Structure 1
Amino acid sequence: MDSAVIVVGAGPVGLMLAAELRLADVPVVVLEQLQKPTGQSRALGFTVRTMEVLDQRGLLPRFGEIATSSVGHFGGLLVDFGMLDSPHGTSHGIPQARTEEVLGEWAAELGADIRRGHQVVSLAADPYGVEVEVRTATGTERLRASYVVGCDGGRSTVRKLGGFSFPGTPGTMEMMLADVKGCDIPAHPFGHRVSGGVAMSAPLGDGVHRIIVREHGAPARSRPADFPEVAEAWQRLTGQDIGNAEALWASSFSDASRQATAYRRDRILLAGDAAHIHLPAGGQGMNVGLQDVVNLGWKLAAQIHGWAPPALLDTYHRERHPVGERLLMNTRAQGLLFLGGDEVQPLRDVLTELIALPSVGLHLAHMVTGLEVGYDTGPGEHPLLGRRIPHQELVGDTGKTSTTELLHQGRGVLLDLADDPALRRIASAWHGRVDVFSGHAHAPADDGPFTRTSALLVRPDGHVAWAAPGAGELPRALHRWFGAPR
């Protein structure tokens, strides 16, 4: 084997997966066909759930000062994110290029082998591994790994070569975008609906504005738009001439909506846009992709190291495919609301009234920020079971820490909150896979879940796999998620 895992694609999703694998001491090679990053940024920030995920790996300080907001939208209709129970808000102003830079540095520090100018041209899988043929500037080479993961975007080569089915709906409409400077553009971050379509604009800093236009009746095209086309559409919709502005880049996208029927075919897996494409409503695409690979990384590492319990790797598809289905559902709904013509205005009016109801607003906020996601981790009645563990300050024998900090190393964690030596003795048989913390919650909320909790078993991705009282015996959960004891 040239590596345990080959990751195809050095975008944010591929780099995050490489780092997650290296946290678990798994050799990984990342193959990227581009010689260098484009510097272009479709995604511009993180959802609340992604902020939590990055925080649990200690990554947020690497991004510097992060501007957050408690205001979001669903299909251009304002939603109050201030109702969400999270220490984080939705972040803005973090270009995808910066995310790639930070995650690339982290993955390299951890020992990932990132190879640029390597284009995958064929795959051949057998019961023992996958052979990858790669074209480089100097010729062709072959690499072999136990597993290959396609993180290579919506036109994924791995998905096509791996024979994955990718059903859905083709694009029926087009939106064009450009990042421009040298002109004064009014801000319409949630869209400005006019008779001919929709115009959106948002300042990105340093005099740069992101503009997005959708003209009613414009079909999806087979090539990206150029800036003169974007500028002409902007003038038709808004009356403003920006033709003399400096365009940093321009492109276009459609409302095509597709999802792989399986995220795994034996030793080949998919994540991010390789597994699901959709209208980029609310910037969810990259965020869901990052969450995909945080779910996958520790499971694939367990398989490589030989301690994965039966079917652990299959839970990647079982847990994340429904999340992708919900993603496609909500982005298609937002597309109708946001990009439709006058015929959708009555629906927008009704939904505006509904969003004002706290329960409806909270439901939509959870949906588009990823906070609704929970998994079936086993029987039990505890409110945290299957959910991502909330941030909680903790006090132990060695001082203060937090649930977030305990997950920095990407291992499972047993929280012994009732000083139970029997639980600690049980967990010691899984040393190296599960860290043990003994202590108590620092100033828990009077009505919070930690006030009724004596112990929690947390998976490396931050989701609660077992809780006491109410979820049965600890050894069963340890076997299910962390294999046989040493």
Structure 2
Amino acid sequence: MSYDVDVVVAGGGPVGLMLACELLIGGASVVVLERLTEMDPTIKAGSLNTPSVEALYRRGMLPELREAQDRNMEQFATFMRQRFPDGGPAKAPPRFAGHFAGIMLSADRLDTSDPELAGHGPADLIGMVTQQQLEGILADRAVKLGVEIRRGVELTGLKADADGVTVTAGGEEIRGRWLVGCDGGRSTVRKLTGFDFPGTEPEINAHQAMVEMEGSEALKTGWHATATGVYAHGPLPGRVLTVEFGGVPADRDAAVTAEELQASIRNVSGTDVVVTEVKTATRFTDNARQVTTYRMGRVLLAGDAAHVHSPFGGQGLNLGMGDAVNLGWKLAATVRGWAPEGLLDTYTTERHPIGAWVLDWTRAQIVLMRPDPRSRALREVVTELTETVTGTTYFAKQISGVWQRYDLHGDHPLVGAGAPDLELADGSRLADHLHEGRALLLDPSGGLRALAGGYGDRIKVITEAVLDETAPAGLLVRPDGFVAWASDTVGADPGSLEAALSTWLGTPAGEGANASIGESAA
């Protein structure tokens, strides 16, 4: 049977673009179908968590992230100068701490000695990057890699069978071996395929917007709970968010007007602001749902197509990015034919629990935002907890995503966690060696190299010395940057490394393939 492409990706937002890039560097052909002709300017997520930044860093995009954050920090400084013309807290916190249900976390209370906050390297300094900026960065990368992106083309139909999927889009049919729906919370792919999508009903009517307004000096900076809801002002000039209870939007698709925003701001804040211009605005609810499986035959889902929830804490974009990085190399390996049995099924096994956690994390925040006396009493208790070092550190770790790991059945504490960004003797860092999307074996002693001999271009071996004395003696990192095997004693149990290689990289291509291993050595 002939195929037009290995993988059809429906949706050209950040998740779809990241997935497409991962598929391409993994050796799969891909086409992205995006119904919009250009990027959606509607205000959305405003920050990236640690796993997302690390994933982008491992693919060489850290400079672009730094540039984007610098632009945002300049806007933040402008906002603070406007708010405090006579001087005030005009500097950004040393580390992005975030908020929980609008309860601000002070970075000064972080326990920076916590081991889960260490080992992230330069990625630790990035966070304030907007969804539009990320989409632009990924679109540029996709074009440079040669990803085919068809804009103004919407998927309207699909027929899946045991060998592939035929999609209807833009008046033509495209035959692919696989289809991935990255087409948002109202996913056409999810609906046409018949994925179960259970969850909880919404109870809030919320708005987020960038506006021009008169009387904004009456609004407090940051997040604030009031007798009628919750609102946020800043950290960028003109940014405002409101949360009201007692009913969901009558029409989610209707344009958000200045009058609507003004009424919401006044109701929640108790001020008499006048909205004179709406630059970008959206309304949202706390509808929280997740598919029961991320794969049905030849169709998979990622991002909001697989899970929806309120955006509080910036979890949605980051959850989708994690899906894309986890799925990309596994699907590419399946396309190329070297994937071990069951590899693709680990996508659901590993990502579904993290998605379920995020849904509950956002549901808990809704409870603390409710204006009823019981909820406000609970909010006071949680606020007191966040005013301790232990409390702030706990919430900040959860928000930042540093807790995320997979159950990969290994004895070493690093197994299942994101790889530490170790500094090597040649001046490079571990992330610098993951740009190509291959697995990586860190083997400073050179004693493990032969075990990776039959895996050819699936793996890169590094025999460079590590400067960190606490680093393991050997480390196997999957293409997505997660540790699959680690040992503090080289040669103690070579069978465990062989088992890990077989589990994640399949059957060796053959003996005597050492020359094809990508190697960096002292």
TM-score between both structures, scaled by the size of structure 1: 0.91
Equivalences for residues 314-329 of structure 1 within 5 A? 314-329=345-360
Could you say which residue in structure 2 is the equivalent of 1:407? 434
**What residue number does 2:57 align with?**
55
Q: Alpha carbon RMSD of aligned pairs, Å? A: 2.0
Partner residue in 2 for 1:460: 479
Q: How big is the shift at 1:151? A: 0.4
| Secondary structure in structure 2 of the residue aligned to 1:123 | strand
Conserved? CA contact 2:441–2:462, under 8 Å: yes
Letter in 2 for 1:454: A
Q: Tell me, what secondary structure is at the counterpart of 1:228? A: helix
State the one-letter code of the partner of 2:418: R
Matches of 1:189 and 1:263, distance apart in 2: 40
Aligned-pair CA distance for 1:15: 0.4
Which one of 160, 163, 167 corresponds to residue 132 of structure 1? 167
- In the superposition, relative to structure 1, how do residues 284 and 416 fare at CA in structure 2: closer, same or farther (>3 Å)? same
Does the 8 A contact of 2:205 with 2:245 survive in 1? no
- Shift of the 128–463 alpha-carbon distance from structure 1 to 2, 3 Å rule, reads same
Residue equivalent to 1:383:
413
Q: Is 1:193 matched with 2:212?
A: no
Q: Which residue of 2 aligns with 1:370?
A: 401
Which residue of structure 2 aligns with residue 476 of structure 1?
A: 499
Please give the secondary structure, in 2, of the residue aligned with 1:214: strand
Please tell me whether the aligned partners of residues 79 and 355 of structure 1 are also in contact (alpha carbons under 8 angstroms): yes
- Once residues 473 and 332 of structure 1 are traced to their aligned partners in structure 2, the CA distance between those partners, rounded to angstroms, is 40
Indicate conservation of the 8 Å contact 2:104/2:223, yes or no. no
The structure-2 alpha-carbon separation of the partners of 1:203 and 1:352, relative to structure 1 and needing over 3 Å to count, comes to: closer
SS at match of 2:280: strand
For 1:20, the equivalent position in structure 2 comes to 22
Say yes or no: does 1:100 pair with 2:127: no
State whether residues 208 and 283 of structure 2, in contact with CA within 8 Å, keep that contact through their aligned partners in structure 1: yes
* Cα deviation 1:310-361 (Å, max 9, x = unaligned): 0000000000000000000111101211344332222122223333454443
One-letter amino acid of the structure 2 residue matched with residue 146 of structure 1: R
Whole-angstrom CA distance in 2 between matches of 1:357 and 1:249:
37
Q: Percent identity?
A: 40
Answer whether contact 1:416 1:436 (CA < 8 A) is retained.
yes
Match of 1:200, as an amino acid? A
C-alpha separation between the residues in 1 aligned to 2:267 and 2:138? 40
Structure 1 residue aligned with 2:322, among 291, 295, 307? 291
Q: Residue 394 of structure 1 corresponds to which residue in structure 2? A: 424
8 Å Cα contact 1:226-1:251 kept in structure 2 = no
Counterpart-to-counterpart distance in 2, 1:222 and 1:109: 40
Aligned partner (choices 301, 315, 329) of residue 270 of structure 1 = 301
Deviates more, 1:111-120 or 1:186-195: 186-195
| 1:183 to partner: Cα distance | 4.3
Code of the aligned partner of 1:76: G
Counterpart code for 1:118: V
Amino acid at match of 1:211: V
1:70 corresponds in structure 2 to 96
| 8 Å CA contact retained: 1:46, 1:90 | no
Match of 1:79 in 2: 105
Structure 2 vs 1, CA of residues 184 and 12 (structure 1 numbering), >3 Å: closer, same or farther? farther
In 2, are the aligned partners of 1:3 and 1:27 still within 8 Å (CA)?
yes
Where does residue 450 of structure 2 map in the other structure?
425
Aligned-pair CA distance for 1:379: 3.0
For residues 178 and 91 of structure 1, what CA distance do their matches in structure 2 show?
24
Q: Does 1:161 align with 2:188?
A: no
User: How much does 1:49 deviate?
Assistant: 2.1
Instruction: For 1:86-235, list aligned pairs within 5 A.
Output: 86-87=120-121, 88-89=123-124, 91=126, 93-134=128-169, 136=170, 140-181=171-212, 183=214, 185-186=216-217, 188=220, 190-204=222-236, 208-224=237-253, 225-235=256-266
Q: For residues 39-94 of structure 1, give each alpha carbon's deviation from its aligned partner in whole angstroms, at most 9, with x where no partner exists.
A: 22311121122111211111121231525743322222233554332344475553
Q: How many Å apart are 1:10 and its aligned residue?
A: 0.5
Judged with a 3 Å threshold, the aligned counterparts in structure 2 of structure 1 residues 158 and 407 are, in CA distance, closer, same or farther, namely same
User: Displacement, 1:419?
Assistant: 3.1
Distance in 2, matches of 1:361 and 1:189, equals 20
Aligned length: 467
Structure 1 window deviating more from structure 2 (289-298 vs 369-378): it is 369-378
Report if the CA contact (8 A) 2:48-2:128 is conserved: no
After superposition, the C-alpha distances for 1:283-302 in whole angstroms (9 at most, x for unaligned) are 11001101111010000000
Give, in angstroms, the shift of residue 274 of structure 1.
Answer: 0.5
3-state SS of 2:274 partner: coil
Say whether the 8 Å CA contact 1:47–1:90 is kept in structure 2.
Answer: no
Listed one character per residue, the Cα deviations across residues 354-379 of structure 1 (whole Å, up to 9, x for unaligned) are 33454443332222211111112233
Stretches of structure 2 that go unaligned for 5 or more consecutive residues are: 74-93, 510-522
- Matched residues in 1 for 2:14 and 2:68: separation? 19
User: Which 10-residue stretch deviates more, 208-217 or 29-38?
Assistant: 208-217
User: Where do 4+ consecutive residues of structure 1 move more than 6 Å?
Assistant: none
**C-alpha separation in 1, matches of 2:279 and 2:473:** 55
Residues 49 and 183 of structure 1: CA distance in aligned 2, closer, same or farther (over 3 Å): farther
Give the partner amino acid of 2:240: I
> TM-score when scaled to structure 2?
0.85
User: Could you say which residue in structure 1 is the equivalent of 2:85?
Assistant: none
- In the TM superposition, what is the alpha-carbon distance from 1:182 to its structure 2 partner? 5.3
One-letter code aligned to 1:32: E
- How many angstroms apart in 1 are the aligned matches of 2:497 and 2:128? 43
- Counterpart of 1:198, as a letter, is V
